[in-house]
Amino acid sequence: MTPEQLVSCVDFRYITDVVTKDEATEILQQQQSTKLKREKFVCENGYPAYTTSTAWLGYSDETLREKCRKALSEGWTRFKMKIGANLEDDKRRATIMREEIGWQNALMMDCNQRWDVPDAISWMKELAQFKPLWIEEPTSPDDILGHATIAKALNPLGIGVATGEMCQNRVIFKQMLQAGSLQFLQIDSCRVGSVNELIAILLMAKKFDIPVCPHAGGVLLCELVHHISMFDFCCVSATMENRVIEFVEHLRDKFVYPVKMKGTNYLPPKEPGYSSELTAKCIEEYEYPNGKVWAELFQSGKF
């Protein structure tokens, strides 16, 4: 599609104070002459990812070490850990993470909306010694100014704020960008209503020079976002600097078009569409209430 065709897909209502139709067209036109070069690059090399599978809350210290070592053996250099339940536990687990992955690899932290604003600031000041690249969802996802307060306090420590997986439209993202609430913008293809809306968000992120790092820590989310980041690289931001896509490895056997990886990089999908189709076997087994899985749950008395 031409820049003009792409721009015609976007609803600019309510966001023209940040990016206008003419500005969006200019952004896309600027990338046209080098777009094919980037397409070739991403087809050959893929798009960088980070792993969330090594450090879920509830893992024993031994399991944490084992999963870090396995991930390192597979080539991973970017790791995310869940935090927020207990500060001393977080310090112990972060110490283990750094012992295993070293200081040359990136470490991100995610507390899944656990804290009030003052708690987020004080907690992360305690964890700043572990050099996290970002703290993800440090407070209510609806608290735009709260995120801005946290970012202002933590940015001098080298810690960015990452959020957006619960953000449902371009207007809220606009306000977060205007307020300085995030340093890493995490779109979610299931939360935002359409590719059209996602294009609007990518254009605004480009205007503010904020990297887009999609949320993909759930069923089919890896499949639903990797092509969005590749479009951003080829047509909008024209860079992969500070940009990564989340990756989790579970349940890939349930999908008709599971993502393909080259090492720790996402490869572009070759099939048309949104890559979101479940296998017939998966639907048959999990269909409510007659699927095999539900029948077993009913029979066991769990439901």
Q: According to the model, what pLDDT value does residue 193 have? A: 82
Residue 1 half-sphere exposure toward CB, CA atoms < 13 A: 11
The one catalytic residue among 80, 82, 174, 226:
82
Q: Which residues pair with 79 in a beta bridge?
A: 51, 107
pLDDT digits (tens, 9 = 90+) for 40-97: 999 999 999 999 999 999 999 999 999 999 999 999 999 999 999 999 999 999 999 9
80, 147, 206, 215: which is the annotated catalytic residue? 215
What residues in the chain have per-residue pLDDT under 50?
none
Please indicate whether residue 281 is annotated as part of the active site: no
Note the helical H segments in the chain. Answer: 3-7, 21-30, 35-45, 61-73, 87-101, 117-127, 144-154, 170-179, 195-208, 221-231, 280-286, 292-300
| Contact (CB, 8 A) for 78 and 48 | yes
Q: Among candidates 142, 139, 189, 192, which has minimal Cα distance to 161?
A: 139
Q: Is 82 a catalytic residue?
A: yes
CB atoms within 10 A of CB 290: 8
**Residue among 137, 126, 121, 116 at smallest CA distance from 52:** 137
String of DSSP letters for 2-17: -HHHHHTT---TTTTT
